[in-house]
Amino acid sequence: MKNQKEVNLYKFEEELYDMGYSNICGVDEAGRGPIAGPVVVAACILPPFLRIDGINDSKKLTEKKRDELYKIIVKEAIAYKVVFVNVKDIDELNIYNATKKGMLEAINGLKVSPDYVLIDAMPLGELHYSNKSIIHGDALSASIAAASILAKVSRDQYMKKMDIKYPNYGFARHKGYCTKFHTDTLEKYGPCPIHRKTFYPVTKYFSKQLSLDFDDNDDKE
């Protein structure tokens, strides 16, 4: 018997299945808030009526559980696409528009066209598919939750690689979020190529017109 939590999580999908839709795509992002690193967007189409035990909003799961579910989702999904939007685009477009850009690229990059798209929070008026934006969708829709896990795990893996490349900042520890440890290292070493120039407190280092030798490819997957 399904518990209430599972019933709620599949409510949107079941309603759409009843309406005749089958390839339902969930879309979500990871990394809008950090001051370093890309924003990562994932689009995912799960098989109709598939139940993945434990699937939920990635923020509510342990790292171990996210990694386990990531492997299952990648294996079971009809189609999925993960897009990295680099810091250059974030700084030029702003984080909202950079996220929207990533969402559109992820959806349009799927190998199987969706019948319907469920989006976490952000309206996508430019989308040429039937769609619905759901506030806190990653906690209410299994498809969006699956996308959130793909995005979160992919971004965390990337930030661990950046921790090796830029060991002074502890990226594996905080994943680019503005923790005290991160701001302390930023104060000590100044920003590195994957810091977002338009995000405070990174902005103050550029207002001082520090001379930094940045490699534009450092935050590209």
Residue 220 domain-assigned (yes or no): no
pLDDT 10s digits, 139-189:
999 999 999 999 999 999 999 999 999 999 999 999 999 999 999 999 999
Residue 149 domain-assigned (yes or no): yes
- The pLDDT assigned to 2 comes to 46
Domain encompassing residue 81: 4-162
* Amino acid (1-letter code) at residue 187: E
Residue 124 domain-assigned (yes or no): yes
Helix (H) or strand (E) holding 30: strand 24-30
Tokens representing residue 177 in the block: 């979020």
Task: Please report, for the domain that includes residue 87, its CATH number.
Answer: 3.30.420.10
- The pLDDT assigned to 8 comes to 73
Which residues does 204 contact at the CB level (< 8 Å), separation at least 6? none
156 C-beta neighbours (distance < 10 Å), count: 22
- The pLDDT assigned to 11 comes to 94
Q: Are 11 and 140 in contact (CB under 8 A)?
A: yes
Tokens representing residue 98 in the block: 């950079």
- The pLDDT assigned to 206 comes to 85
Give how many domains the chain has, as a whole number. Answer: 1
Instruction: With H, G, I as helix, E, B as strand and everything else as coil, classify residue 132.
Output: strand
Residue 57 domain-assigned (yes or no): yes
Residue 26 domain-assigned (yes or no): yes
pLDDT below 50 — which residues of the chain? 1-7, 209-214, 216, 220-221
- The pLDDT assigned to 217 comes to 54
Report pTM: 0.91
The 39-45 sheet, strands edge to edge: 79-85, 39-45, 24-30, 116-120, 130-134
Residue 52 domain-assigned (yes or no): yes
